[in-house]
Structure 1
Amino acid sequence: MAKKFLFSTILNSNRSSIKPILKCTQLKKIHTEASVKEIQIPVKWGHVAAKLWGDENEQPILALHGWQDNAGTWDPLAPILSKKRPILAIDFPGHGLSSWIPRGMQYYPWDLPRLILYIKDYFKWEKLSLLCHSMGSIAGMRFASVFPDDVDFYIAVDNLIYDDYDLNQVVENFPKILRKIQVIQSLPGEPPSYTAEEIVKIWHLGTSKSVSMESVQHLMKRGTKASSRDPKTYYFSRDPRLKHILFSVEDKKFVEALIKRLKCPTLYLKGIDSPYACDEHSVEMRDIIAKNNPDFECHFLNGTHHVHLNNAELVAPLILNFLQKHKFLK
């Protein structure tokens, strides 16, 4: 989770038995492109969109993206990993090609672990395999800690928990955020549009240059739409309500109690050029995980918060070695 993002607005930023799982009676395949399939998972308010790489008759690794990103964040990495294990990367609600939540409602971070549980129950998986980044990593950690017997492994990129924030600053910003939430609920029409070149620059700068200019294309595919006013321009298509989420800071004792329940093999990959998860609280919580979980593994890599997206060639070998070590590969 990006600390800078919390208080600012950016322009739309041992293996369980395998069963046949992605049945046509459960999923609506809306598009097939080479070995990648587009999937729709029905939910009460519409659908959760996803991309599937690899064998659809084998349980996939569930891949979870970061805040205001989408399933495209795994485009460079998933084709490598899916040669060994299929990857199902979802768009969280309001992101990418997934449906927005109903009008008048607001996004809440603890809804994401509940969505993970829904997906597990929907496919009738005995256990989940998790590959996560940023907001997805926090959601994955919460799920793996609350349901420690339901996760066979958890891989996190650049986040495990929320960073430690100034509580006074959090409270001071709540009135402003709540007012913005009120306003954005009723904004009419299509948002501002930009040329493709402008979109790339805005996305790059909006992530504090964490997403490289070259990598923006992967997120644009699911995160932008052609303007109806000028088809030569594009707008950010994610739900604008995502820009003003109330990220609730959690008590240190609560976080510690939560993470001590994490018992599955865990791989944590940290970009050394990322400013996140570097505060004293995050480091202390990471050390607690290491002391309580003998299967916790941590690596520091050259790269930004989006190291998995920009430098998949650095990340892939570490993940494959981890999966091989714990016998999660064929």
Structure 2
Amino acid sequence: METNTKKIDEISIPVPWGHVAARTWGEAQDPLIVCVHGIMDNAGTFNRLIPYLPNSFYYVCIDLPGHGRSSHFPPHLPIHTINYVLVYRIIFKYFQKKFIIMAHSYGGQIGFIFAQLYPECIEKLIMLDTIITFPIAVKNFKHYLSRSVDAHINIEKKLLEKKKPPSYTHEEALDRLWNGRSYAPIKLEAAKALLERAIAPTEDGKFIFTVDQRLKNAINPLRDIRCTIEMLKVHPVRCPVLIVLGSESTAQQVFLSSIIQFLKRRRNVRIKYAEGNHDVHNDSPELVAPYVVKFLLYQKNKL
């Protein structure tokens, strides 16, 4: 295990609608790694992994808008994946230098799109149990989009009607976060790592969750498998890519076997498996870290 001598700090990155909060590890003059969590999570998802990683990098673990301690996107409109591609671009302009992306789940899917759009900004890409945004089959176009529009209207109605969000004791909040995962359960220590940035105190000594409720209905780009593969051929991710998948995870790989097979044939892509589920990087960071360390320390021309 890497000696945990990294300096830890909190920073705030200005954006037009407020700020993006981030926890940093290391020294700002070192090579930059932007670490991005999955949907409904926060920067705490990396708390247990980063102590295993080299001290020679500057890790900036952001809370995406609507998560953790970051501002929510402006109200009333649906959340779309492209909103978050914009955030990646703003972060690049803030730091004014190329960076490595290390991202889990939805954060990695957004990072993959960003690497396709702005290859000049990215040194390397590390994807933790994720590949691409879920494809939308042509036959499902009408159902997917009409359902998303109606779901947004229903969420907006509830937000306008509800004067105060529900509050919980610290123990109740931890239990909800620990046992409320969509894809697979996580270990208690992993849940504790997320809880710190997921809640805010109330005046009566309880806690509320800060996550933007619109995220329950985030809308992905409308593209099917065929379109996705064609776009990867025409606009490939050119930087070195490491994909670490949980061996027991069904979050994406069961549905995207054709994408996995396509990526395995790319010379710049490495796909590895670690024993665990969708949150294996948080549940068992000691299993994921060796792959990440080796990838980070490789020279680009040796991949």
TM-score, normalized by the shorter chain, greater than 0.5: yes
Whole-angstrom distance in 2 between the partners of 1:82 and 1:88: 14
1:173 positional shift: 3.1
* 1:176 shift after superposition: 4.1
In the TM superposition, residue 177 of structure 1 has moved relative to its aligned partner by 1.0
Equivalent in the alignment of 1:53: 25
| Structure 1 equivalent of residue 64 of structure 2 | 92
Deviations 1:206-264 (A, max 9, x none): 21443222211111111101222x30x22211222222223344222331133331121
Report the CA distance between 1:54 and its aligned residue.
0.5
Distance 1:171 1:244 in 2: 11
Q: Which residue of 2 aligns with 1:235?
A: 208
Correspondent of 2:260 among 274, 283, 286: 286
2:92–2:121: 8 Å Cα contact kept in structure 1?
Answer: no
Query: Could you say what secondary structure the match of 1:40 adopts?
Result: strand
Cα deviation for residue 327 of structure 1 reads 5.4
Alignment match, 1:301:
274
CA distance in 2, matches of 1:130, 1:242: 22
Q: Distance in 2 between matches of 1:148 and 1:285?
A: 20
Q: Which moved further from structure 2: 282-291 or 64-73?
A: 282-291
Aligned to 1:197: 171
What is the one-letter code of the residue matched to 1:301?
A
Aligned equivalent of 1:117: 89
Helix, strand or coil at the partner of 1:186: helix
Give, in angstroms, the shift of residue 172 of structure 1: 6.5
Which residue of 320, 325, 330 corresponds with 2:293?
A: 320
Counterpart pick for 1:142 among 113, 135, 141: 113
Contact 2:136–2:224 (CA under 8 A) maintained in structure 1: no
Q: 1:303 to 1:69 in 2, by over 3 A?
A: same
Aligned-partner Cα distance in 2 for 1:100–1:122: 19
Preserved contact between residue 93 and residue 101 of structure 1 (Cα < 8 Å) = yes
SS, match of residue 49 in structure 1: strand
Q: Determine which of 93, 114, 133 is the counterpart of 1:162.
A: 133
Return the letter of the residue paired with 2:7: S
2:26 counterpart letter in structure 1: G
State the SS of the aligned residue for 1:93.
Answer: coil
Q: For 2:243 and 2:197, locate their aligned partners in 1 and report how far apart those are by CA, in whole Å.
A: 27
Q: What do the CA deviations read for 1:15-48 (whole angstroms, capped 9, x no partner)?
A: xxxxxxxxxxxxxxxxxxx821100001111110
**Helix, strand or coil: the match of 1:55?**
coil
Q: Which amino acid aligns with 1:263?
A: R
- Supply the AA of the counterpart residue of 1:186: L
Counterpart of 1:81 in structure 2 is 53
CA distance in 1 between counterparts of 2:84 and 2:145 reads 23
Q: Tell whether 2:247 aligns with 1:272.
A: yes
1:81 and 1:87 in contact (8 A); partners too: no
Deviation of 1:313 after TM superposition, in Å, equals 0.6
2:42 to 44, 54, 70: 70
Give the distance between the partners of 1:151 and 1:175, measured in 2 at CA: 34
Number of residue pairs the alignment of both structures matches: 290
8 A contact 1:180–1:244 mirrored in 2: no
Identity across aligned pairs (percent)? 29
TM-score (norm 1): 0.81
Distance apart, 1:193 and its partner CA: 1.3
Change (3 A) 1:267 1:190: same
The alignment partner of 1:192 has SS state of: coil
Alpha-carbon distance in 2 for matches of 1:244, 1:276: 17
- Which of 145, 148, 156 is 1:174 aligned to? 148
- What is the distance in 1 between the residues matched to 2:168 and 2:86? 35
What is the letter of the counterpart of residue 212 of structure 1? K
Q: Are 2:155 and 2:213, in contact at CA under 8 Å, matched by a contact in 1?
A: no
Conserved in 1, the CA contact under 8 Å of 2:43 and 2:63? yes
8 Å contact from structure 2 (residues 152, 214) kept in 1: no
Q: Which residue in 2 is equivalent to 1:35?
A: 7
Distance in 1 of aligned mates of 2:239 and 2:161: 44
Partner of 2:3 in structure 1? none
**Is the contact between residue 48 and residue 90 of structure 1 (CA under 8 Å) also seen in structure 2?**
yes
2:157 matches 1:183: yes
Gaps of 5+ in 2: 1-5
Q: 1:324 to 1:82 in 2, by over 3 A?
A: closer
Q: Do the aligned partners of residues 254 and 150 (structure 1) sit closer, same or farther apart at CA in structure 2, a change above 3 Å counting?
A: farther
Q: Within 2, Cα distance between the matches of 1:316 and 1:138?
A: 20
Give the letter for the 2:119 counterpart.
P
